[in-house]
Structure 1
Amino acid sequence: MNVRLANVDDAAAIATVHVDAWRQAYAGVLPQATLDGLSVEARTRMWTQAIAGTRGRVLVAQEGGKVVGFAAFGPCRDAGASPTEHELWAIYVAPGRWRSGAGRALWRAAREAMVAAGAASVSVWVLAENQRARGFYESVGLRVAPEAGERAVTVGGTPVNEVCYVMHHAAPAYDFH
């Protein structure tokens, strides 16, 4: 498994993974019409802009030269977040590669990059009903952030709840002398 920084040439492959993963992971959670309406072309445009942008970073996991997953991350988008709070914005793996280690490889690389950029904590918002993703985040050491609670959001016109997970990477140093 190779994890590397994405480039704009990866946008279509990332978009395909994104659409396929959504259709599989959110079946029964989001309306089928919403999932059927997802467009690889629209997601390709979105990921081209995201990769070319300067706000965050996008990584891809490859096997045999083929993109099998991606992670996007950067500064925490929550109101009032400090510069040391970072956020995993998205992490998806092609459904046929779930449980292959690609997600863990992406998580490790993203976490290392965020810590190297000064992250004291990393958070991720996940659909409350997405038990597979919640289990993944718990397995890599993130915990529900009780102070954040749940929040109601609308995805594709459907109201859903998200829950925040967090991992604190470094505690503040205290000088007791």
Structure 2
Amino acid sequence: MEHMEIRNAEKGDEEILAWVQTESWKAAFFGILPENELEKATCFVKVKEMYRKILGEGIVKIKIGFIEEIPHCIAGWRQNYNQKGAQTAELICIHSMQTHWGQGFGSQMIKEILQNMKEEGYAEVMLWVFGENSRARRFYEKHGFHQNQASKVIHGITEMMYSRTL
């Protein structure tokens, strides 16, 4: 397996982040999200602006993974404010390009960010995942996450909460 270089995202990385997110969403959520919702959610200009704002605020920590200097994977996390309390981090996203799915790069990324969370003193991490996204659910379960009872509806699709201790 190739090695993925992982670094912190910084101001100026908005295009990289938007490209990885929109392209990975198109592949991962095709057939899960209604077509019109997927089209809105993958508008490059809007996603780029969202990342510009996020990077400017500095609340969400974002990592970018590169394979041979080409962006492949992104992950974002922050302290959880709603469901679980201050000792819990929230994995907001982990997206990777379809060209390298199943090759271990997502595992490299999640191990890195789980270690970062632990080093920052978090005891637990939670996330939301579309119930119909069985590939992502298997990935999280492989990395020690367990489904909780909590759920919510977004884009007309049920999301389920997963969590694990660090």
**Cα displacement (A) at 1:127:** 0.6
Alpha-carbon deviations, 1:122-149, whole Å to 9, x = none? Answer: 111101110010010011111112xxx1
CA contact (8 A) 1:150 1:161 kept: no
Normalising by structure 2, we get a TM-score of 0.91
Partner Cα distance (1:97, 1:12) in 2: 20
Partner Cα distance (1:84, 1:12) in 2: 32
State which of 89, 98, 105 in structure 2 corresponds to 1:95.
Answer: 98
1:111 aligns with 2:114: yes
SS in 2 for 1:83: coil
SS in 1 for 2:135: helix
1:58 aligns with 2:62: yes
Matches within 5 A, 1:1-16: 1-16=4-19
CA contact (8 A) 1:86 1:122 kept: yes
**Cα displacement (A) at 1:7:** 1.3
SS in 2 for 1:164: strand
SS in 2 for 1:29: coil
Which letter maps to 1:134?
R
**Cα displacement (A) at 1:165:** 1.1
CA contact (8 A) 1:18 1:92 kept: yes
Partner Cα distance (2:28, 2:73) in 1: 14
1:70 maps to 74
Computing the radius of gyration from Cα coordinates, the structure with the larger value is: 1
CA contact (8 A) 1:57 1:72 kept: yes
**Cα displacement (A) at 1:100:** 2.4
SS in 1 for 2:90: strand
**Equivalenced residues, count:** 162
Which letter maps to 2:69?
G
Alpha-carbon deviations, 1:75-127, whole Å to 9, x = none? Answer: 11324x32111110100001112112221111011111111111100111101
CA contact (8 A) 2:152 2:160 kept: no
Partner Cα distance (1:100, 1:8) in 2: 29
Partner Cα distance (1:154, 1:83) in 2: 24
Q: Indicate the RMSD between aligned Cα atoms, in angstroms.
A: 1.4
Which letter maps to 2:152?
A
**Cα displacement (A) at 1:36:** 2.7
Partner Cα distance (1:143, 1:154) in 2: 20
1:164 maps to 161
The runs of 5 or more residues in structure 2 that have no matched partner are none
Quote the sequence identity (%): 23
Of 47-56 and 12-21, more deviation after overlay is shown by 47-56
Runs of 4+ in 1 over 3 A off after TM superposition: none
